[in-house]
């Protein structure tokens, strides 16, 4: 799900992860990949998988959710 679809902003995500907006915006504008812990925090804030965050592939994210549900 994209940021716009969830009606969130970069500022909201930054606040949710306890990082400054400036830091978060820097990652986005400079296309810097956050470290693993930060990626997990972003994914949790947006209620998506880290895989989807990194790859943008919804199909893989849905498959992961289905496998988790079946367990």
User: pLDDT, tens digit, for every residue of 26-40?
Assistant: 998 998 888 999 999
Q: Tokens 């949710």 — which residue?
A: 16
Q: What is the CATH number of domain 10-70?
A: 1.10.260
- Residue 3 has a pLDDT of 46
Contact between 10 and 3 under an 8 Å Cβ cutoff? The reply is yes
- Residue 14 has a pLDDT of 92
pTM, 2 dp: 0.65
Two structure tokens written together for 23:
């830091």
pLDDT > 90 in the chain, percent:
30
At 4, the pLDDT band (50, 70, 90 cuts) reads: very low
Helix, strand, or coil (residue 23) = helix
Residue 20 CA to residue 58 CA, distance in Å, equals 28
Q: What share of the chain is helix, strand, coil (3-state, %, to 5)?
A: 65, 0, 35
């Amino acid at each position: 799900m994209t940021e716009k679809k969830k009606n969130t902003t970069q500022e909201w995500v930054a606040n949710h992860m306890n990082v400054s907006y400036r830091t978060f915006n820097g990652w986005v504008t400079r296309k810097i990949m956050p470290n693993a812990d930060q990626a997990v925090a972003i994914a949790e804030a947006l209620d998506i998988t880290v895989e989807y965050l990194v790859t943008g592939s919804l199909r893989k994210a849905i498959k992961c959710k289905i496998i988790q549900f079946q367990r």
